[in-house]
Amino acid sequence: MTMSPLADDYNLRPFFFISLGGLLFGYIIGITGNVVTSGQLQCPDGWTGPVGSWTSVGYRQCYYFSSLEVGLLASQNLLGAFLSSSVCFKFADDLGRKLEVQIGGVLYLIGAAVAALSPVLWGVYAGFAIYGLGIGFAMHAAPVYIAEISTAKVRGTLISGKEVMIVLGMFLGFSAGVAFHDLQFHGWRFMIGVAALVAAVMEVGIAFVAESPRFLVLKEVSGAVPDEACALRGEAAAALQRFRRGVAREEVEQELAAIREELKTTAASAASSWEALKYPRPLVIGCGLVLLQQVTGQPSVLFFATNIFKSAGFGAHAAAMSSLGVGGVKLLATLFTVWQVDNYGRRPLLFVGIAMMTAGLAILSAAFCFRACAVPGLELWECNANDVVLPKRWASLTVAGLMVYVSGYQVGFGPITWLMIAEVFPLQVRGSALSLAAMVNFGSNLLMTLLQGVLQETLTPEVVFMGYLGMCIVSFQFVYSIVPETRGKTLEEIERLMVAHKGE
């Protein structure tokens, strides 16, 4: 019987459970805007009942949030992710890929349970922060693990497939916002509770997946005593055989021998975390891509997707439905990239995606120049946010521009960035180097999330969108000048390319 490349080269069950960490990351992005919307944590418009405080206790409370406070709640996940990424920098290659994901799963479960069940506001904040710690561990380990167990011909598809899970999580988060929207004051608890159930499934499933064979070989050649090295060699062979179903044992042994030889050539002993700094080219590529994907604005926009649609003149329920539509479009765009990344390559998709983002931002910038107040006699700066509208012809065009924008991100930056950083770092420093890239990612995302609402209010949305457009132009030049094409190369071939430029 002839099997598909994916079935032949990779057991999809480990991929599914590992990438659930990405789904849970996307899910919290999708629900955040709905958690703090009117009628959930935020008091409904015109509310005359009691308003909760930071320490007041009760399960039927609502609160008033400023733009900064909304940003602070949304950023708790990112703060936690940044902190756990810094832990990974020091300890990733001691923990191993599998244990990292298991730790992430436990933190997801605890964080979601604490937030969903808390009767006080500070407990919700704490739960979001704990959940964020899980994001850091899971999102650090997943691309490394998937890259290390995949063959060259499907590696791009599989790592990009993790991005599909993130976008699917966003879509499910938007869906949960719609489904629980009418449960006033309680719907947000159900939204977060769903994440706890998924985290439990993830934790159970990961217990039955094998460790990364490349990680086991790294431990074997990094100074293990003879008895331990022999055990690691056997474990690595058994693990790789599981991921190469239908492949002869001799071929598996040859692949392991090639990995072992490459490691012996490039690292005679275990590398410290700071050894990652000796590889400037992959660090510039990885950290540059994750920084640019944040400062072009799209991740921050997604945290506030519901409110952005409201500012375009849609009602609260229509805004949630529109956000659901954005999630669906993002999912379709990501599926296209997963389907074509190993055919077209990394650089062409980055160019196409950035061009689409630029076009979408140009439409948004122009459209938001025509905002007006629906209340006669009031200037825009005097108007309540719920009364700000666009002329009908521009309202529809704004939604179209946003769809083009987020689709472009999912064609390019979304899946390709994490694919590249999983590929370009040498194995002996991959854990710590990817941690540095993750810290830049979550740190810049945290900053953009905190500043998003303030920037929208002080600079106006059209100026903010124009700033993002400028960063898209910078991104295009960065990819053209620095980012290599890695399609069709083994990790060992890419490593030789990066090592050849070591110190440059």
- Asked if residues 23 and 201 have their Cβ atoms less than 8 Å apart, the reply is no
pLDDT value at position 269?
A: 46
Tokens of 129: 């922060």
Cα-Cα end-to-end distance for the chain = 49
Distance CA 399, CA 395 (A): 7
Q: What is the pLDDT along the chain (504 residues), one digit of tens a residue?
A: 333 444 444 467 888 899 999 999 999 988 887 888 888 888 887 788 888 888 899 888 888 887 778 778 888 998 999 999 989 888 877 888 899 999 999 999 999 999 999 999 999 999 999 999 999 999 988 888 888 888 777 788 888 888 889 989 988 988 898 889 888 888 999 999 999 999 999 999 999 888 888 888 888 877 666 778 888 888 888 888 888 777 778 887 888 888 787 776 655 444 556 776 777 888 899 899 999 998 998 766 655 555 566 655 566 555 666 667 777 888 899 889 888 888 888 999 999 999 999 999 998 888 888 877 777 877 777 777 666 777 777 777 877 888 899 899 999 998 899 888 888 887 777 778 888 888 998 888 888 877 777 787 788 778 888 999 999 999 999 999 999 888 888 877 887 877 765 544
Contacting residues for 480 by C-beta, under 8 A, at least 6 apart: 351
- Asked if residues 223 and 209 have their Cβ atoms less than 8 Å apart, the reply is no
Closest C-alpha to 108, from 77, 79, 82: 77
pLDDT value at position 199?
A: 96
Closest C-alpha to 316, from 442, 184, 436, 157: 184
Closest C-alpha to 241, from 230, 250, 232, 229: 250
Q: What is the CA radius of gyration of the chain?
A: 23
- Asked if residues 367 and 186 have their Cβ atoms less than 8 Å apart, the reply is no
* Angle CA 230–235–236, to nearest 5: 95
Distance CA 220, CA 97 (A): 15
Q: 3-class DSSP state for residue 61?
A: coil
pLDDT value at position 11?
A: 62
Contacting residues for 470 by C-beta, under 8 A, at least 6 apart: none
What single-letter amino acid sits at 250? E
pTM: 0.81
pLDDT value at position 229?
A: 80
Distance CA 473, CA 112 (A): 38
Distance CA 384, CA 375 (A): 9
